[in-house]
């Protein structure tokens, strides 16, 4: 159902992942995940080691946070993050790179694991792993199937349908075995027998590589998927792989699925097999004007400006810098914001690429209706949201919108459909909460 075909522009797909050295100072936000922010367990002046727990996420939906560097806690203060808001972060001045004991830094593949499901879950929880595809939902919560539900499939998202981004693609090529071990660990934690890795057909090398590797892993199969956006959206991916529709307002577990990104599977591998908490991730830096489109393995908390510098510096004619992909990413107004667990890419647009076409009257061409992957009617929702007719918005299922941006992308009149729908969703969400309160 639906979908669009934006230009892929995967400029960095041939660039091997490059490890970036820790910067002089990092800012590690306490809210890098969906849910309750973590509580700091260090204070100003403390010495910390790389991989040391610095903030605890004890709430039901929260995640632990570890220091990505070694050094001294300078302060705990509000810094601007990618959302544009100022949020609390632990700022650490880097001194050397001394790692916490017990972390196995050897690159060798570690396949064997004798832990049981509970112990694996515990390790995932302790490592502060969240969904690295962008939604940053705490992984241990997802892997802990609620009572009364049963997981049947573990679905591994290697779709990377956002244009420009190549982080998952490179990780699949370079850390294929590790990812598959991670998948196996997650299967064990969930108690499922079947896992499917979904990869878009525009990554034939990754499909080939994984198909070959997966032969040695029982229960894991690889499936090539049609190239279209948003093929990698959770509900769309489940539909494409096993033809089940997650009911409106429900989670994938409703149809017996748990979905994890390939990056998350790699993080699980590192946490369980190497005792390494989530302190770094792959970030694509790309754009038509970028000198050296790259994929970097970056420590969490590194300022975005350091990544841009490593990719050849900020081009003269830059008009926009985006945190994430071009379809769902957020435009930044400050290049000192830190890389967080959810940062998949930093995109640089030229001045010409930075602005939207001029808005015109809606001609009711029905393109937004045809392409909406959720079967909604953006042409109708946007004006309803604009006029704050919230009950009608709710009836027209505004809350089903996942903000993929396809409607605004395709609109020949360049109507700001998603802008209005997004604001409408916030208002309808508030209305629903107040009603049930």
- Please report, as ranges, the residues that interact with another protein according to CB under 8 A: 1, 4, 6-7, 84, 163, 235, 239, 244-248, 250, 255, 314, 318-322, 324, 326-333, 347, 349, 353-357, 360-366, 369-370, 372-377, 379-380, 397, 400, 403, 405-406, 408-414, 416, 418-419, 422
How far from 329 is each of 82, 159, 163, CA to CA, in Å?
A: 10, 17, 11
Q: Which is nearer to another protein, 81 or 178 (CB)?
A: 81
Least distance in angstroms from the C-beta of 340 to another protein? 17
**Could you tell me the smallest distance in angstroms from the CB atom of residue 351 to another protein?**
8
Pairing mode, if any, of strands 257-261 and 153-158? parallel
Least distance to another protein, CB of residue 244, Å: 4
CB atoms inside a 10 Å sphere around CB 15: 18
| Nearer to another protein (CB atom), residue 182 or residue 303 | 303
Closest to another protein by CB, 358 vs 437, is: 358
Q: How far apart, in Å, are the Cα atoms of 142 and each of 27, 56, 61, 205, 316?
A: 27, 18, 10, 30, 43
| DSSP bridge pairs for 29 | 89
CB of 262 to another protein, least distance (A): 23
Nearer to another protein, 174 or 377 (CB): 377
Smallest distance from the beta carbon of 207 to another protein, in angstroms?
A: 25
What gap in Å lies between CA 6 and CA 366, rounded to an integer? 18
- Let me know: does 324 contact 344? Beta carbons within 8 Å: yes
Integer Cα distance of 170 and 174 in angstroms: 6
Residue 86, H or E segment: strand 86-94
Closer to another protein by Cβ: residue 298 or 332 = 332
Please, which residue, 108 or 357, has the CB nearer to another protein?
357
Nearer to another protein, 72 or 397 (CB): 397
CA end-to-end span of the chain? 36
Report, in Å, the least distance between residue 275 CB and another protein. Answer: 37
| Beta strand segments in 262-293, E | 280-286
Q: Any idea which residue has 């946490």 for tokens?
A: 271
In the bound complex, what is the minimum distance in angstroms from residue 394's beta carbon to another protein? Answer: 13
Using an 8 Å Cβ cutoff, are 172 and 179 in contact?
yes
């Amino acid at each position: 159902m639906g979908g669009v075909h934006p230009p892929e522009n995967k400029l960095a797909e041939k660039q091997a992942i490059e490890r970036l050295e820790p910067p002089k100072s990092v800012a590690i936000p306490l809210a890098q995940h969906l849910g309750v922010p973590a509580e700091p367990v260090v204070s100003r002046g403390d010495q910390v080691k790389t991989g040391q727990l610095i903030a605890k996420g004890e709430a039901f939906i929260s995640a632990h946070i570890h220091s990505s560097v070694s050094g001294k806690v300078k302060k705990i203060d509000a810094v601007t993050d990618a959302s544009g808001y100022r949020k609390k972060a632990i700022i650490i001045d880097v001194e050397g790179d001394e790692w916490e004991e017990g972390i196995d830094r050897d690159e060798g593949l570690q396949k064997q694991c004798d832990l049981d499901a509970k112990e694996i879950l515990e390790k995932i929880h302790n490592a502060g792993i969240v969904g690295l595809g962008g939604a940053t939902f705490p992984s241990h919560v997802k892997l802990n199937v609620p009572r009364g539900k049963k997981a049947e499939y573990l679905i591994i998202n290697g779709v990377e349908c956002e244009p420009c981004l190549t982080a998952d693609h490179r990780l699949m090529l370079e850390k294929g075995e590790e990812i598959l071990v991670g998948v196996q660990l997650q299967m064990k934690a969930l108690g499922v027998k079947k896992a499917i890795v979904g990869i878009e057909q525009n990554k034939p090398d990754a499909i080939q590589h994984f198909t070959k590797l997966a032969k040695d892993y029982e229960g894991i199969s690889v499936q090539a998927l049609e190239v279209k956006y948003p093929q990698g959206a959770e509900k769309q991916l489940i539909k494409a792989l096993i033809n089940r529709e997650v009911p409106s307002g429900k989670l994938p577990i409703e149809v017996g699925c748990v979905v994890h990104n390939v990056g998350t599977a790699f993080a699980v591998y590192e946490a369980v097999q190497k005792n390494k908490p989530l302190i770094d991730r792959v970030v694509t830096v790309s754009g038509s004007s970028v000198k050296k489109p790259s994929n970097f393995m970056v420590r969490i908390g590194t300022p975005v400006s350091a990544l841009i510098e490593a990719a050849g510096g900020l081009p003269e004619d830059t008009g926009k810098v985006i945190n994430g992909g071009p379809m769902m990413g957020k435009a930044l107004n400050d290049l000192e914001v830190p890389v967080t667990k959810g940062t998949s890419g930093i995109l640089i647009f030229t001045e010409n690429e930075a602005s939207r076409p001029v808005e015109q009257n809606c001609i009711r061409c029905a393109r937004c209706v045809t392409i909406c992957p959720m079967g909604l009617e953006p042409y109708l929702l946007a004006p309803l949201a604009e006029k704050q007719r919230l009950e009608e918005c709710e009836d027209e299922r505004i809350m089903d919108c996942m903000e993929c941006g396809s409607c605004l992308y395709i609109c020949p009149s360049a109507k700001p459909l998603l802008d209005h729908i997004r604001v409408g969703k916030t208002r309808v969400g508030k209305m629903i909460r107040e009603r049930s309160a």
